Structure 1
Amino acid sequence: MTVTDPHPENMVCAAGESTVAVEIITARDVPLGGPRAMTVHRTLPQRRRSLIGAWCFIDHYGPDPVSHTGGMDVPPHPHTGLQTVSWLFSGALQHDDSNDIHAIVRPGEVNLMTAGRGICHSEVSTSDTDQLHGVQLWTVLPEHARNGERRFDHYAPQPIKLQGASALVFLGSLFGSTSPIETFTPLVGAEIQLDPHASLAIDVDETFEHGILVDTGAITVEGTPVQRTELAYTGTGATTIHITNTSEDTARLMFLGGTPFEEEIVMWWNFIGRNDEEIRQFQKLWNERDSRFGTVTGYQGHRPDGPAWLPAPPLPTTMLKNRPLTKPIARPGKDPYRPKV
């Protein structure tokens, strides 16, 4: 990047002061299901920012007492143009999809489903799960891959021991560890646990933007406090990101990043397309049970009288607009769109 201002302001940094800007994105609480719904904390997409690299969706949930909420029971539903990335801290999920994949999602093991031009799947917490806790992530597929074949990848990364910390790298490369799972744009994804009052300097690719989601504990990112369920965003240009656990407990966080995604997209319900017309076609085909998405076998919900599949909701009467491409520059401070309490 070149500064073209002929009269730039002087910038004076005190010793030890960070020059990496940090933007705090706060979560919206979203009920997942019916009257006994499990609540998820959604940080992406938001009005403030839609993407971090190709990461386009971040739901954080739990620890959820399954006996009280009923756990997760999502009947067969469709996806297009994206990958789902399931990562658990506790509990287990039964995954069934129309590519005839039937798998258990367990803590510390990534399950990545590539939708390509169309897939459907179901997710149900297992009968032996007392507490469900984890994240559900999506990445958007670029033009050259979004109409490809369905796919499923599983990987159980080995723990990486660091000074005052440990990590599980499930996508991309970090701390000298590389995941074997192929991604269609440059990405990184890892779970990091940080000891009480420990600090960690993470060497990163300067072409990546990053998001740090706090699950437990309280941390600072480049000196900026980040509370549980909040997402700290840093733009491109950083070569090192400094994180400190300021709490008396072990902090757990999700470290996500990637090169800025430069294609305009439309996200609606469980579909990602490129324009209003595509989304309307996806909705029509799914509700007509078109073969584009295939059929899930093996789904067994928690309620015998529950729905066997999820119809797509009605579309708005107005045209669906492309999500704006936000510059990969952090805007320091709290999310101005944070709901008032």
Structure 2
Amino acid sequence: MSNLETQPEERVCAGEGDGATGARSPLEILEPRDVPLGGPRAMQVRRTLPQRRRSLIGAWCFVDHYGPEPIAGTRTMDVPPHPHTGLQTVSWLFEGEIEHRDATGAHALVRPGELDLMTAGRGIQHSEYSTTATGTLHGAQLWIALPEGARGMPPAFEQVVSRRAELGDAVLRVFVGSLAGAVSPAVVHTPLVAAQLDLPAGGSVTLPVDETFEHGLLVDAGAPRLEGVEVAADHLAYAAPGRTSLRIEAGAEPVRAILIGGEPLGERIVMWWNFVGRSHEEIVAFRREWQASIAGGDADGAGRFGAIEDPTPPLPAPELPNVRLAPRG
């Protein structure tokens, strides 16, 4: 999925939890902001990462949450070809179906319970459309910042089935890393975890977690208590490194949430639009190459972003700000 904001914020992200032990530190509750996906009449997404208070959770650098959106007979998610650099995209659905194409030649349908993981590496372009067979679209899109040693790798795509585990009252669907004995085969390049967590009303679970990881809990439904702190739907709760377990309790409503986590990245990254780089100069160069490719300068697809079989015109990059991209936060 693209960041379709016409005036995207630039961020230099340093991983606020880097080097912290965080034991028994208070939770942070990150509020969502609404972003239109594709224009004023398009589907709205709730974005909780990045924001001024926190830019990274491990290497997770972007979290969008959308739906449930009734879309029967329409194509509400309509994201034409667009570029990415220096990241992996994680597509996870609760309901519905999305058609994915990218410059590796991949053509896949994203369905609930399956992970679609696209590695941009040095550069890729892709498109995503909800299918007309979808009655309701509901899910999340997350990005992983690639570390310095992997961000120049060739692009790749994989589709894997999540691994199911049960612990306490919880049902887990692990789609990145390992949790509660379930291990995802998805290939990532820093220590990470991601899982869907479902709890019945009144249920609870104590999850054993890696104490070197920082964690985030994105709540889709219900109002669970994480370590005794209530987290409202659509909000993202952050727990710093230093915890060996996370206690999650449901209230009167069933809970569905996504747990993410990872070792603090320990690298400064610059995010602007759909690019992750390390400097102002890199972002400027990525934008210039993308604009040249869609203007016909890369007819054979031999450049950074490759070629894609999609009749829809590609998205042009927004204008860069009139000042040098500078660190924030």
One fold, TM greater than 0.5? yes
Query: Does structure 1 retain, via aligned residues, the 8 Å contact 2:165–2:181?
Result: no
Partner deviation per Cα, 1:166-213 (whole Å, 9 max, x = no partner): 010011110011111121100000000011011110100000000000
**Cα distance change, pair 239–258 in 1 and its aligned pair in 2 (3 A):** same
The structural deviation recorded for 1:130 is 1.1
Query: Does structure 1 retain, via aligned residues, the 8 Å contact 2:168–2:206?
Result: no
**Cα distance change, pair 51–68 in 1 and its aligned pair in 2 (3 A):** farther
Would you say 1:265 and 2:269 are equivalent positions? yes
1:10-25 aligned at under 5 Å gives the runs 19=24, 21-25=26-30
Query: Does structure 1 retain, via aligned residues, the 8 Å contact 2:190–2:263?
Result: yes
Query: Does structure 2 retain, via aligned residues, the 8 Å contact 1:264–1:274?
Result: yes
Would you say 1:181 and 2:191 are equivalent positions? no
**Cα distance change, pair 296–323 in 1 and its aligned pair in 2 (3 A):** farther
For 2:31, give the aligned amino acid: T
1:204-283 aligned at under 5 Å gives the runs 204-248=209-253, 250-283=254-287
What secondary structure, in the 3-state scheme, does the structure 2 residue paired with 1:107 have?
coil
Moved more, 238-247 or 151-160: 151-160
What secondary structure, in the 3-state scheme, does the structure 1 residue paired with 2:205 have?
strand
For residues 20 and 24 of structure 2, what CA distance do their matches in structure 1 show?
Answer: 17
The structural deviation recorded for 1:68 is 9.2
The structural deviation recorded for 1:321 is 2.0
Partner deviation per Cα, 1:247-283 (whole Å, 9 max, x = no partner): 23x2100000000011111100000000000000000
What secondary structure, in the 3-state scheme, does the structure 1 residue paired with 2:284 have?
helix
**Cα distance change, pair 315–137 in 1 and its aligned pair in 2 (3 A):** same
Query: Does structure 1 retain, via aligned residues, the 8 Å contact 2:164–2:182?
Result: no
The structural deviation recorded for 1:230 is 0.3
Moved more, 60-69 or 49-58: 60-69
- Unmatched 5+ residue regions in structure 2? 1-18
Query: Which residue in the other structure is 2:198 paired with?
Result: 193
Would you say 1:153 and 2:187 are equivalent positions? no
Q: TM-score, normalised by structure 1?
A: 0.85
How many pairs were matched up?
Answer: 302
Would you say 1:62 and 2:74 are equivalent positions? no
What secondary structure, in the 3-state scheme, does the structure 2 residue paired with 1:284 have?
helix
The structural deviation recorded for 1:90 is 0.4
Query: Does structure 1 retain, via aligned residues, the 8 Å contact 2:207–2:245?
Result: yes
1:52 paired residue among 57, 62, 77:
57
For residues 305 and 319 of structure 2, what CA distance do their matches in structure 1 show?
Answer: 19
For residues 187 and 133 of structure 2, what CA distance do their matches in structure 1 show?
Answer: 32
Partner deviation per Cα, 1:190-247 (whole Å, 9 max, x = no partner): 0000110111101000000000000011111111110000000000000011110112
For residues 291 and 34 of structure 2, what CA distance do their matches in structure 1 show?
Answer: 28
> Which structure has the larger Rg over C-alpha atoms?
1
1:81 paired residue among 86, 90, 93:
86
Q: TM-score, normalised by structure 2?
A: 0.88
For residues 280 and 114 of structure 1, what CA distance do their matches in structure 2 show?
Answer: 21
For residues 82 and 2 of structure 1, what CA distance do their matches in structure 2 show?
Answer: 24
CA RMSD of aligned residues (A): 1.7
Which structure 1 residue ranges, 4+ long, deviate > 3 Å from structure 2?
67-70
Query: Which residue in the other structure is 2:7 paired with?
Result: none
For 1:122, give the aligned amino acid: S
- Identity of aligned pairs, percent? 54
Would you say 1:294 and 2:298 are equivalent positions? no
Query: Does structure 2 retain, via aligned residues, the 8 Å contact 1:265–1:323?
Result: no
The structural deviation recorded for 1:296 is 1.0
1:26 paired residue among 8, 31, 46:
31
Query: Does structure 2 retain, via aligned residues, the 8 Å contact 1:209–1:233?
Result: yes
Query: Does structure 2 retain, via aligned residues, the 8 Å contact 1:210–1:235?
Result: yes
The structural deviation recorded for 1:65 is 1.2
Query: Does structure 2 retain, via aligned residues, the 8 Å contact 1:171–1:187?
Result: yes
- Unmatched 5+ residue regions in structure 1? 4-17, 301-306, 325-341
**Cα distance change, pair 98–104 in 1 and its aligned pair in 2 (3 A):** same
For residues 323 and 103 of structure 1, what CA distance do their matches in structure 2 show?
Answer: 37
Partner deviation per Cα, 1:41-72 (whole Å, 9 max, x = no partner): 00000010000000000000000111498410
Would you say 1:164 and 2:176 are equivalent positions? no
